[in-house]
Amino acid sequence: MDRTGNLDEALQRLHASGPERLGRLTNHAPMAVESLAARGQAHAVHRWLDLYAPRLEEFPSGTGPVTAADWQAALGDPRRAADWIGFFSREVAERPWRDVLARWWPRLLPGMYGGSAHPVIRVGHAVRTLVSGEENGPRLTELAHGLGYWAARHRPVSGLAPLPGAGSAAAALDTVPPLTDRSGGFPDRLKRVSGLPVWAADVTDPDAARLRLTELVRAATHRYATHGHGDPTMLVHAATAPNAVLRVLPALPRVLWVPSLRAAWTASAAVTAMYAADAPVPFSPPGTLTAEEVVERALAHGDEHVIKLTDTALDTGDGQALAAALHAIEWSEPLR
């Protein structure tokens, strides 16, 4: 983890910005700078952020404080983003952040599908900074921003029919039925997901849940190498959303690990259904490229989704995962 101070400085810069822009697009900068710092590129964080800065918008205005008495009425209201961020800023200032996370994780988990799953991904990056480094002001504030964004974009999914699944995560993803109507953006498509294959529904042991979640992240990352061309941007989230959940597990009570696995599977499978490629393509092995060289290529490309997928690919760490990152670079528009 970064010891230069660049990540904390970047987070402080970003906390003057809102979690979204244009009313619907996510501010990816906090996640991307954390990924770069975690992968040995802290020296490039400010340079990258300068390129991304034109996409940032000012922090939104609030409408009134969220309180312990009325929080349910504000849940899932994107107009209350500033209010929710203020609420969680007070929470992490007054009590240990792990206690705040343990209290709110089960409340927020059913709605992790709002904001194209970006809020939980942002929380996953924030938690990694806290468990691997100093628990300082910028990192606690980043957790508050992530949790607040999640609460504002909270969107549950219900009524999904259980479809026949498979034993492995990879095989279960292969059985996900693609949407026939792929018009519209993420919210419109999510409404049309009516059923998903059953996978890991029989898991009751926390350690087994962690292992299954690790398997899911690997399978979704590998699948990107052959299917990511279906939508190179959106299919990134089939891997990064469950990986965000996996990163948070060590900071959660073990009783929350099994429901976390189930929510992560629903997110990964739903994204797969919404943006599935018509047919797989062969993946090109990374050859002699090292993980560090792949990270450098992702940084040079600059796209925030490429950077985040590369970060997840390095967690998996094998050749097909690195190939997925290289394909993301090939298929995505660079940041300019």
Give the model's pLDDT for residue 78. 97
Q: What is the mean pLDDT for each group of 10 consecutive residues in the chain (336 residues)? A: 87 98 94 97 97 97 95 97 98 98 98 97 98 94 98 96 96 97 95 96 97 98 98 98 98 98 98 96 94 98 98 97 98 95
Give the model's pLDDT for residue 23. 87
* Residue where one domain finishes, among candidates 152, 179, 203: 152
User: What total number of domains does the chain contain?
Assistant: 2
Q: Are residues 318 and 192 in the same domain?
A: yes
Host domain of residue 185: 160-336
Q: Is 40 left (phi over 0), alpha (psi -120 to 50) or beta?
A: left
Give the model's pLDDT for residue 336. 85
Q: Are residues 81 and 128 in the same domain?
A: yes
Q: Are residues 293 and 216 in the same domain?
A: yes
Give the model's pLDDT for residue 134. 87
Give the model's pLDDT for residue 4. 85
* Residue where one domain finishes, among candidates 136, 152, 168: 152
1 domain residue, yes or no: no
Q: Are residues 124 and 244 in the same domain?
A: no
Alpha carbons 214 and 198: distance in angstroms, whole number: 17
Alpha carbons 22 and 39: distance in angstroms, whole number: 30
Q: Are 74 and 151 in contact, with CB atoms under 8 Å apart?
A: yes
What's phi and psi for 188, nearest 5 deg?
A: -65, -40
Q: Are residues 141 and 164 in the same domain?
A: no
Q: Are residues 74 and 181 in the same domain?
A: no
143 domain residue, yes or no: yes
Q: Are residues 15 and 78 in the same domain?
A: yes
Q: Are residues 142 and 190 in the same domain?
A: no
79 domain residue, yes or no: yes
78 domain residue, yes or no: yes
Q: Are residues 125 and 181 in the same domain?
A: no
Count of CB atoms situated within 10 Å of the CB of 45:
26
Q: Are residues 100 and 138 in the same domain?
A: yes
Closest to 155 (Cα-Cα) out of 183, 193, 210, 209: 193
Q: Are residues 148 and 272 in the same domain?
A: no
Closest to 151 (Cα-Cα) out of 143, 163, 159: 143
Give the model's pLDDT for residue 1. 64
CA dihedral sign of residues 236, 271, 155, 22: positive
* Residue where one domain finishes, among candidates 152, 170, 187: 152
Q: What residues have CB less than 8 Å from 4, skipping those under 6 apart?
A: 42, 43
103 domain residue, yes or no: yes
Q: Are residues 128 and 171 in the same domain?
A: no
